[in-house]
Amino acid sequence: MSALSLSGTDLNNSEVRERLLPHCRLQAGEVWTDPEARHVVGCGDAADSEFVHRVTGANKASLLVQDPPYNVAVGERRTVAEYVDWCRRWVCVSESVMAGDATLYVWMGADQKQHFQPLPQFMTMMAETDFESRSLITLRNQRGYGTQKNWMAVRQELICYTKGSPTFHVQYTDIPKILRGYYKEVNGVVTENAERSRSDCIRPGNVWVDVQQVFYRMEENVNGCSAQKPLKAVERIVLASSNEGDTVVDLFAHSGTTLLACERLGRRCVTMDIDPIFAEIAIRRLERYRDSGKTGWQMGHPFERESEEAALGVSEQL
Ligand SMILES: C[S@@+](CC[C@H](N)C(=O)[O-])C[C@H]1O[C@@H](n2cnc3c(N)ncnc32)[C@H](O)[C@@H]1O
């Protein structure tokens, strides 16, 4: 058998999947326990309350970062109503594992060819829950598509909801403040805005223009994970909306970005994916980081070891 190379959507290919599945530690309903006793990774359905409670255990999450698939199921497409119905189920499960004071972030797509679904329908559904709406953040990608006959599509929406009074730590970008000339008198002293600031850099606000989307030349790239979110964005969320030692839940692990962010920032992550291959990739990404300090595979991929062995004829399985 030949060596395996993985790119974008290869993990939808049934032949590739058949080769990888025997190398995955978890099957549906199973849970991996971290040998360093910090995080938990499960393989199961985000809408399965019993399983999610088994994975999270007694800990309540102060932060949830959810990045569900954007209404594109493999081989079929659900109606918007079905999709939102499914979202209502995992939102309800999310709520049941949240602390009294907690924040829920949801990455949500908006299909411009289909009346921007499912973003507005999702928001309407959330308005019927007990969550408070807090922020609608747009992450601006550096590269987009459809530039000749339409506005280049560069946005990714991130919606933030809260319950109670959760932690919020102000964050700053690396972008220096350049605007001057806003004077204000405080206690009889007139100062320019830069003199009053806590940082020389601007805050991200709710339009994040300073985060590079993941592509194959970046160290954090995980080939095979086409929906991977930038570590910088997820670390910003974790830093803003949790404290060290807190439990952070992500029910849609994929490449394990939230897991890695939590490892790097001293939080405890409870995460899962319905697909054993992505649950395995998330675990391998954490292990790779612990072994080498690397955040991804750049030009390689998470199953490259088995793949090289197969190419050398060491393993019969691949
Ligand atoms: C958009 S990706 C998440 C990307 C992730 N934030 C990252 O940075 O890598 C969505 C993931 O949800 C998983 N998924 C789909 N349906 C699921 C379900 N019912 N329960 C749990 N995971 C599910 C998919 O297998 C996919 O890996």
Reported as a single tens digit per residue, the pLDDT across 222-279 is 999 999 999 999 999 999 999 999 999 999 999 999 999 999 999 999 999 999 999 9
What mean pLDDT comes out for the span 40-58?
A: 97
Q: For residue 77, give the CATH number of its domain.
A: 3.40.50.150
Query: Would the pLDDT of 97 be above 60?
Result: yes
What residues pair up with 32 in beta bridges, in sequence order? 41
Residue 76 forms part of a structural domain: yes
Q: Write down the pLDDT at residue 227.
A: 94
Q: Is residue 67 part of a domain?
A: yes
User: Side chain identity at 277, as an amino acid letter?
Assistant: I
Domain assignment of residue 5, yes or no: no
Residue range 59-70, pLDDT digits in tens:
899 999 999 998
Comparing C-alpha atoms, which of 106, 100, 166, 162 is closest to residue 131?
Answer: 162
Give the β-pairing of 155-163 and 132-140: antiparallel
- The count of domains in the chain is 1
Q: What distance in angstroms lies between residue 274's CA and the mean position of ligand 1's atoms?
A: 7
**Residue 207, in any domain of the structure:** yes
> Stretch 132-154: mean pLDDT, rounded?
87
What per-residue confidence (pLDDT) applies to 143? 75
Q: Which contacts (CB < 8 Å, 24+ apart) does range 28-36 have?
A: 28/274, 28/276, 31/55, 32/279, 32/283, 34/286, 36/290
Handedness of CA 86, 230, 214, 283 (dihedral sign): negative
Give me the domain span that covers residue 146.
10-169+203-311
* 185 occurs within a structural domain: no
| Residue ID of nearest Cα to ligand 1 atom 25 | 275
Neighbouring C-alpha atoms within 13 Å toward the C-beta of 316:
0
279: CA distance to ligand 1 center in Å? Answer: 9
List pocket residues of ligand 1, CB cut-off 6 Å.
Answer: 45-47, 67-69, 225, 227-229, 251-252, 254-255, 257, 272-275, 278
Query: Is 130 part of any domain?
Result: yes
- CA 314 to ligand 1 center in whole angstroms: 32
Helices (H) and strands (E) in the chain, counts: 9, 13
Task: Report the pLDDT value the prediction gives residue 144, as an integer from 0 to 100.
Answer: 67
Q: Is residue 93 part of a domain?
A: yes
Which atom of ligand 1 is least distant from the CA of 251?
Answer: 21
Least confident of 55-69, 83-97, 198-212, 293-307: 293-307
Question: CA 121 to CA 81: how far, in whole Å?
Answer: 8
* Within-domain flag for 272: yes
